[in-house]
Amino acid sequence: MPFSQFIKWLAEPVITYIRGFLLNTIRQGPIPKHVAFIMDGNRRYARERDLPIVDGHKCGMESLMKILDEGFECGIEVITVYGFSLENFHRPKEQVHDLMVLLKEFASQFAPQSPLVRKYDLKLRVVGRAELLEEDSRKIIQETADRLKNNRGKLFNVCLAYTARDEITTAISKAVTGCVSIGEITAKTLSDNMFIGSPTPDLLIRSSGVHRLSDFLLWQCHQNTEIEIVDVKWPEFGVRDMGLILLKWQRRRKS
């Protein structure tokens, strides 16, 4: 056995033990029902390693699948991610196209018989202006979501072609259309017309150390939503980072 494989063979039981210990520790305390992620740093991760930009996004997708599994296993009920902003359409055309191609690969991870879907009876929701996506990518991701729409377990919201301002504008338009008078429009009326409803996020996490909300869930983030900025690029964000954030959140809740 090569030395590198031998080290990996030795490390795997230790990693499994640490993971189990961390999960069990987290489960002893309160768990946020809804956690949202701004998955920042994929492009910088690729550039630092002289990789194609799309490879940075692929690494980020791998991190996301791990975090979904860990987060849901901890007891989180809803996870929402900022997958693609309306502003991202202004990026170079080849980058946008690469992301659309990657979106189809991403959708394939959520087949009805895939381990993650079966383990959590997962429901996938596409949030945003999906009609603006490339047709084949839009069709595949929407068909994937439709196949899982009757599931009753964990909920995974993917925000695509999304900004909070667009969501709020759309909600106002719907509210005005559905109400007899302007006086009938309340905060609840608008909340009922948002793409993403209850439960509102208990915790919003942004990777790569950037202190911005980037037009994400501006309506849903309320006075009790805690915002955690971590100085780790998304492809490097792992179980340890997630676990430490949840432990910090629990500690603040108890204080």
**Residue 20 lies inside a defined structural domain of this protein:** no
What is the predicted pLDDT for the residue at 45? Answer: 97
For 116-142, how does the pLDDT look when each residue is reduced to its tens digit (9 = 90+)? 999 999 999 999 999 999 999 999 999
For residues 8-32, average pLDDT: 70
Cα distances (Å, whole numbers) of residue 75 to 32, 103, 217, 234, 248: 8, 27, 22, 22, 16
**How many Å apart are CA 90 and CA 93, to the nearest integer?**
8
pLDDT band at 23 (very low <50, low <70, confident <90, very high): confident
* Assigned domain for 11 exists: no
Mean pLDDT computed over 219-235: 95
Task: With respect to residue 199, please indicate whether it lies within any of the assigned structural domains.
Answer: yes
Does residue 23 belong to any structural domain of this protein? Answer: no
Beta bridge partners of 159: 82, 127
Residues in the chain: 255
Share the mean pLDDT of the chain.
90
Question: At residue 6, does pLDDT exceed 50?
Answer: no
pLDDT bin (cut points 50, 70, 90) of residue 254 is confident
Residue 2 confidence (pLDDT): 60
* 110/108 Cα distance (integer angstroms): 5
| Percent of the chain whose predicted confidence (pLDDT) is above 90 | 78
Pair type for strands 155-162 and 34-38? unpaired
Asked whether residue 1 is assigned to any structural domain, the reply reads: no
How confident is the model over 148-192, as pLDDT tens digits?
999 999 999 999 999 999 999 999 999 888 775 777 888 998 999
Question: Could you tell me the residue range of the domain that residue 148 belongs to?
Answer: 31-254
Q: Does residue 22 lie in a domain region?
A: no
> Tokens 């559905």 belong to which residue?
178
Residue 24 binned pLDDT confidence (cut-offs 50, 70, 90): confident
| pLDDT tops 70 at residue 35 | yes
- Residue 172's domain is classified under what CATH number? 3.40.1180.10
| DSSP for the chain, written as a single string | --HHHHHHHHHHHHHHHHHHHHHHHHHTS---SEEEEE---HHHHHHHTT--HHHHHHHHHHHHHHHHHHHHHHT--EEEEEEEEGGGGGS-HHHHHHHHHHHHHHHHTT-TTSHHHHHHT-EEEEES-GGGS-HHHHHHHHHHHHHTTT--S-EEEEEEEE-HHHHHHHHHHHHHHH-SSGGG--HHHHHHTSSS-SSPPSEEEE-TT-----S-STTT--TT-EEEE-SS-GGG--HHHHHHHHHHHHHHHH-
Contacts of residue 120, Cβ cutoff 8 Å, sequence gap at least 6 = 72, 153, 154
**Cα distance between residue 186 and residue 189, in whole Å:** 5
- Encoding tokens for residue 166? 């667009």
Give the count of domains, the chain: 1
Residue 210 falls inside a structural domain: yes
pLDDT band at 10 (very low <50, low <70, confident <90, very high): very low
**What is the pLDDT at residue 15?**
60
